[in-house]
C-alpha cells in the first residue's frame, strides 16, 4: 500500500489518477509551495516538477514523462509508515498540514498511486492526494502542494486582460514557440490511425495542438477552416485553402492573447501523397471580433509578441491586430 500511495503522489505532479471514491483530478496543476514536517529542508524548497497535467488516468510531469495511476483506499498507517514508526499521529500530521499548507487529510478517502513510475522520470513522486483545488504529494516527511489552474496558463494573460470569448474552450501554448521542437517532437504525436493529424493532448504541457473540425461548429475552428490563406501573397495555398472547402486538416496552436487580439499559428500537416500538391508553410493569424485581421509567415513570436528570424526582429503584433514591420537602420 505504501508504494501505491507514493505512486499516487506522483500523479499529483502531473499523473492522471483514477479515484475509487472521488472524481479523477483532471486538469493542469501548478506547484505552489512545500513544507517539511521535521524542518530538515529549506522552507522554500521547490518541487522538481513545476507543472503536472492530469488527463484520464495519466499524469504528465514533462514532455517525456507520463505515468498511469489508479486510486487506492487511504490508510494513514500505510501511506505514512515512517511517521507511524516514529509515533507521530494522524492528528499531528493533519495539524501540521493545516498550518503550513492549508489542507487536511481528515476527510480524504482515496490516494492516487503511480504505476511503475520510472526512476528518472516521476520520482520522488509515488502517490498523491486530490483535495479540492489542490494536489498534495508526500515524499517522506516533505509535502508538495499544487493548485489547479482555473484558466489555461492563467499567468500568461497578465497582459491580456479578459479572456477573448473565442478562446474559452482552448488551452494555450506559451510563447516563445520552440517551433523546431514542436515539429520534431510533437508533430509525430498528432498522427491518428489513418496517419492524418488530429487534436491531441499528448504534447502537453509544452504544446496544445488542435485540428479544425467543421462538425464542431466552434467559432475559432470555423474561422481557421474557412480562411483564405492566399492572404498577403502566401504561396502554395492551392489544395489547402480554405481547409474546410479542400477537406484538408488545418492544425493550429493558440497563444496567450494580447489584449483582445487572438494569435494562432496554422500549419499544413496533412498527408500529401504522390506530390499531389505543394505543402503550405505555417502562418500566424491575428484575429479580432471573429475576423482575421492579418497574416504573417517565416518568423516565430517571442513573449513580447515580436516575430523573429534567427533572433532578429522582423515584425511585431500591434493591439489593432496588424503585424507591423520592424525596420533596421
Q: Which three cell numbers stand for residue 300?
A: 516565430
Q: Which three cell numbers stand for residue 163?
A: 479572456
- Domain boundaries of the chain, sorted by first residue: 2-148, 155-325
The per-residue pLDDT for 296 is: 95
Between residues 287 and 260, the one the model is more confident about: 287
Angle made by CA atoms 190, 192, 196, in degrees to the nearest 5? 80
24, pLDDT greater than 70 = no
Query: What is the C-alpha to C-alpha distance for residues 36 and 45, in angstroms, rounded to an integer?
Result: 9
The per-residue pLDDT for 118 is: 61
Alpha carbon 230 to chain centroid distance? 31
Radius of gyration of the chain (CA): 23
Query: What is the C-alpha to C-alpha distance for residues 140 and 2, in angstroms, rounded to an integer?
Result: 11
Q: Which three cell numbers stand for residue 302?
A: 517571442
The per-residue pLDDT for 7 is: 39
318, pLDDT greater than 90 = yes
- pLDDT-above-90 percentage for the chain: 49
Contact 262, 286 (CB under 8 A): yes
Q: What is the pLDDT of residues 121-152, one digit of tens each?
A: 888 889 999 998 899 999 989 999 999 875 44
253, pLDDT greater than 80 = yes
Q: What is the pLDDT of residues 146-199, one digit of tens each?
A: 998 754 443 344 333 456 888 888 889 988 888 998 999 999 999 888 889 999
Contact 42, 151 (CB under 8 A): no
Contact 280, 240 (CB under 8 A): yes
Amino acid at each position: 500500500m505504501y508504494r501505491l500511495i507514493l505512486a499516487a503522489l506522483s500523479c499529483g505532479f502531473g499523473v492522471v489518477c483514477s479515484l475509487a471514491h472521488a472524481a479523477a483530478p483532471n486538469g493542469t496543476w501548478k506547484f505552489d509551495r512545500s513544507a517539511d514536517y521535521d524542518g530538515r529542508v529549506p522552507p522554500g524548497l521547490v518541487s522538481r516538477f513545476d507543472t503536472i497535467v492530469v488527463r484520464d488516468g495519466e499524469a504528465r510531469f514533462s514532455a517525456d514523462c507520463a505515468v498511469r495511476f489508479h486510486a487506492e483506499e487511504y490508510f494513514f498507517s500505510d501511506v505514512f509508515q515512517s511517521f507511524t514508526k516514529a509515533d507521530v499521529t494522524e492528528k499531528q500530521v493533519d495539524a501540521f498540514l493545516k498550518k503550513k499548507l492549508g489542507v487536511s487529510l481528515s476527510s480524504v478517502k482515496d490516494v492516487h498511486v503511480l504505476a511503475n513510475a520510472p526512476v528518472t522520470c516521476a520520482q520522488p513522486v509515488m502517490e498523491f492526494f486530490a483535495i479540492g483545488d489542490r494536489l498534495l504529494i508526500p515524499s517522506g516527511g516533505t509535502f508538495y502542494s499544487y493548485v489547479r489552474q482555473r484558466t489555461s496558463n492563467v499567468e500568461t494573460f497578465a497582459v491580456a486582460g479578459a479572456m477573448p470569448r473565442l478562446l474559452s474552450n482552448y488551452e494555450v501554448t506559451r510563447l516563445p514557440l520552440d517551433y523546431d521542437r514542436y515539429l520534431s517532437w510533437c508533430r509525430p504525436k498528432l498522427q491518428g490511425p489513418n496517419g492524418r493529424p488530429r487534436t491531441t493532448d499528448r504534447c502537453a504541457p509544452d504544446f496544445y495542438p488542435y485540428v479544425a473540425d467543421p462538425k464542431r461548429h466552434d467559432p475559432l475552428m470555423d474561422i481557421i477552416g474557412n480562411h483564405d490563406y492566399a492572404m498577403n501573397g502566401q504561396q502554395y495555398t492551392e489544395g489547402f485553402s480554405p481547409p474546410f472547402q479542400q477537406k484538408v486538416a488545418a492544425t493550429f496552436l493558440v497563444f496567450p492573447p494580447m489584449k483582445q487580439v487572438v494569435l494562432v499559428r496554422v500549419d499544413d500537416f496533412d498527408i500529401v501523397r504522390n506530390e499531389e500538391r505543394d505543402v503550405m508553410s505555417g502562418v500566424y493569424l491575428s484575429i479580432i471580433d471573429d475576423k482575421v485581421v492579418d497574416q504573417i509567415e517565416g518568423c516565430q513570436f517571442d513573449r513580447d509578441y515580436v516575430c523573429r528570424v534567427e533572433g532578429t526582429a522582423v515584425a511585431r503584433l500591434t493591439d489593432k491586430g496588424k503585424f507591423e514591420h520592424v525596420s533596421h537602420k
